[in-house]
Structure formats: C-alpha cells, structure tokens
Structure 1
C-alpha cells in the first residue's frame, strides 16, 4: 500500500472484528464489559474510527476465541492501521475526523462529489481557499496559511504517478460560480483554474445550472469514494459539518446518495457545455 495512510486497514480491521464478535454471539455491551472498556471504544474500533494497538487485538481475539490464523491476520492489520501518511505531520491544522478523510481520499480510485457550499478543496486556488477559511473561522493568519498549504498539497493526488491518479467527477452548483469568495479578482483566477483542471483526463467538472430547477441534491455537499478492487472495500459517503463529519457505508445510505448523484448527473450540463458555461461566467467577473 503506497502512502494511503491508516484508514483502509483500520476499516478492514473493524469489519473483521465485528464479524468475529457476531460469529461468537457476543454483543458490543457484553464485549466491553468483559474487557473493562466503555462501549464507545468497541464502536470506534469496529467502525474504523481509531487505530487498534497490539495489546487490544490480543485481548479481543482471546475473549472472542479467534483462531491462531485469524489472530495473525488481525495483528497485521493492526500494524498497518498505525501507518502514517504525509499529512500526519500537519496534525496541528488537521482535526482527527478530517485526517481520516484525507487517508480515504488518498486510497480512492474514484471520487465523486456534489458541491453546493464552496468549490471542492481539490480544485481551489490558494486565494479562494484563504477566503473560505477566513469566512468560516477566527483562526490566526498563520493557522490559515498552514491550512491553505495543506489543501494545496492534497491536490497533488490528481497528478501523481504512483499509485495511479483517481477518477475525479465533480458537479458544482451554479451559485458557486457567482458567489464572491475573496472578490472579483480571486473569482476570475479561480474560474480560470477550474478550466485548467478540466484539461486533465481524470477530471470531469459539470455545472448544475439554476435552470435545472428542483433536484435531489438539496441536502448539500457530499463526497462518494470508491476504492480499488485489491482493497475489497465498499464505497463510502463523506458528509462534512462544522465540527465533524459523517462516514456512511450502509447499503441504504449508499443507495440514497447514488440516487442523488444520478439525479444531479441527469440535470447537469455535460462536460463540454459546463466548460463553456464556466468560461462565460468568468468573463462576467
């Protein structure tokens, strides 16, 4: 695994432990009581929300009567779950809940997003990102600059050589082309950058125009992440809030967001017309 961080092995380890617990007929409450843990620790481990140290794996596999072979598999995943990606060195500007997203983002081979609040971070210029952070927080100028640099550094995944670049399919609401993040000059440069991004073969940008009317994306911005077959990982939906994020992977949740994405695709301009639309809007700034 090439610098994809800890999120994928953590998620895999959590699923394996949940399956082991279910197979043993033990509830999460019973397991927590047996180990002297709070139930929330079991939940965080099984949902991949936190890394699992070797001693905890040994305790879990003993209580759940795992085979020697299964114990070794889980210990190997535990070791992987503590891998550090390049972004871990930015811990002072990246909260735990977003560190997990960056790890998933690095591992994904397809990223689909609908943006209605601000342009996706992977497409933002530094000036646009700066305007977003200044509007959304009271952080110092130094903190904002470090956050902006992290956002710009994340964009390298769209042009990286190894592992192969992910497919990035974006639908942006027309309102984002007309909202003055940072002022007219910032917006002109940002829209010009959007057009340059469309030159990449792995990036598709489509515009959902006002004329589309009512649509299924009224719940707001979200990201759908897909992973290489080698990971054997189900898709994941990421929905960000002001102080945390939701990671959704239940079948009904995925089906709901797939429906939303299909509806938005139906109503959005095709890539060529979207590029023309962005170019025309840029001239209005």
Structure 2
C-alpha cells in the first residue's frame, strides 16, 4: 500500500496518517509459532466509526441489563424478562441479536443455577428465592453489535452461591486488566483461570469469548484458561468479549438434547458468568458494554 493511499481500515484517512506505523510495528515483531503467536487479521481491526458504532450499541445494551436489575425477583417468569429486554432494545432503535440467531428462539439468554449459558426463557421457568442467574444480552444498532451479561441474585442466596458470583466477576475483571496492547491473548485466560483455581473453582473450556463488532462472533476465540505470551497478538482497534464461565464443581458441561441450546454443568453444580465487550486502545482498554 502506498503512503498516500486511503488506509485499509476504512477510516477514510491516508495510510501514512492512519495505520502505516501500526503495520511497521507488527512487521518488526518476531512471533513464536510454538507458542501459537500469530498476527491479528486486518478484518478484526476497527476504525473510529466502527468503535463509535459498537459504543452506541453498548449504551442500549447496558440499559437493558440495568432494567433486568429492577425486574428480577421471586415469582417472575423468565419469558417476561426476555420480552421486557426486547421491548427496551427495540424502543431505542436496536435489534435483539439473539433472536433467530442460528435458530435460537428467544431475544436473550437466561441461565439459572447449574445452567452455564444459552438458557432459553420460558413462561414455565419461575424465579425463586436463592436462585442465581445470568442474563446475556446482545444488541444490534445500525449494524454494530454489543454483547454483555451480568449475574443476578434472586432475594438472598446461599453464601456459597454469593461467593461464586463474586469470584466470577473478579475473574472477568482480572482478565480485562490483563489485556495490554501489543501483548498476547493467552494473558487473558491465564489471569481468569488463576483466580478461579485459587478459589477452588473450575473454568469452562468448551466455550469462551470472541471478537465482536460488525458481526456477532468474530475472531479471535477468547479462552478463559491459558498461558501468558501465547496466542494472537492483541492490538489497538480490536474489540472482544471477556466472559469467563466459572463452575463450582467440574469444568465439564453438557448440552440439552431436547432444545439443543441449554448448556449445563455435567455434575449439576452451580455455574456463574459475567461478560463485557472490551475495546483495546493504545494505552489499555475501554469497556464498551457491561
């Protein structure tokens, strides 16, 4: 690419004013193939317009999650929560991304107690005192996606359940803190897993985070176990989710054969998850949806 050409990122700026230095820095780096170190593909590098688009979707997404805080209580069915979240998103010009995604039948995912993820809302599923649940919401706004989930406690849960919820959030926060531009993807999983294991928990390995932006799921896959300085290079402009799924017992999970979606712990013990959409910046990170 010539220096006066328009930059490959789609910013509309000349290459020399945009990603020329960026490309030179990557070209000068040495990658250890035995540690799985690879360059990020250019398609996962977002320009300023893209970042603003995800940020705007994140505002609506966070608002829907805030609404869930007001509505979660004993006696509420999860289909009502699903509809309330969908109405909130649509009233603000967004689209619930989960609906009909690869055949998923509802607007959001609501996963209770031993359900790890992808729990399907239902009128028959009634929240009860002591339940812990994850509500996972993804919003599309003007073609951009923001994805986040939170844990909610129904009334008063057991000390063991409350600890799992707290430690899982700490795992996510430590994973985000481990993200540094020009370092590697494995740093995230190493930080998440270390904290989980220190507290006697296991980390789900069959599922993980992902790139997000102009599509729901993009490169890279983000594992929540790992080794520092391994995997894809993390660079400014990448947007990804950090969403550790932490289990009280074994890390093993099973998928419901009936609906093909609901993922549960194999041993029936509790699971928790928190998720943020995170932008990698020149100096660190910015959370775009939480």
TM-score between both structures, scaled by the size of structure 2: 0.25
Larger relative strand fraction: 2
Kindly indicate which of the two structures has a greater share of residues assigned to helix. 1
Please tell me whether Structure 1 or Structure 2 has the larger radius of gyration of its CA atoms: 1
